[in-house]
Amino acid sequence: MLGASAQRISEDRRVLEREILPSFARRSDAHRVLFVGCAAYTQRYGELFVDREYWTIDPVPRRRLYGSERHIVDRLENLANHVEPEYFDVIICNGVLGWGLNSPDDAEAAFAACRQHLRAGGELVVGWNDVAPRNRVKPEDISALRRFEPSGCEHGQQSRIRIDAPHRHVFDFYRKR
Ligand SMILES: C[S@@+](CC[C@H](N)C(=O)[O-])C[C@H]1O[C@@H](n2cnc3c(N)ncnc32)[C@H](O)[C@@H]1O
Any ligand 1 atom below 6 A from CB of 117: no
Closest residue (by CA) to atom 3 of ligand 1?
A: 95
Measured in Å, residue 76 CA sits from the centre of ligand 1 at 9
| Length, in residues, of the chain | 177
pLDDT value of position 152 = 77
Measured in Å, residue 100 CA sits from the centre of ligand 1 at 6
CATH number, domain containing residue 156? 3.40.50.150
Closest residue (by CA) to atom 5 of ligand 1?
A: 37
pLDDT value of position 92 = 98
User: What total number of domains does the chain contain?
Assistant: 1
Domain extent for 47: 4-176
Identify which of 58, 91, 93, 128 to mutate to test ligand 1's pocket (most ligand atoms within 8 A of the CB).
Answer: 58
pTM of the model: 0.95
Q: pLDDT of the chain along its 177 residues, tens only? A: 565 445 568 999 999 999 999 999 999 999 999 999 999 999 999 999 999 999 999 999 999 999 999 999 999 999 999 999 999 999 999 999 999 999 999 999 999 999 999 999 999 999 999 999 999 999 999 999 999 999 976 656 789 999 999 899 999 999 999
pLDDT value of position 5 = 42
Any ligand 1 atom below 6 A from CB of 75: yes
Closest residue (by CA) to atom 13 of ligand 1?
A: 37
Q: Which long-range contacts (CB under 8 A, 24 or more apart) does 62-67 make?
A: 63/38, 63/39, 64/38, 65/38, 66/38, 66/39, 66/40, 66/42, 67/38, 67/43
Give how far Cα 30 sits from Cα of 70, 97, 98, 129, Å: 16, 23, 27, 26
Any ligand 1 atom below 6 A from CB of 36: yes
Q: Chain-centre distance of CA 23, in angstroms? A: 14
pLDDT value of position 4 = 47
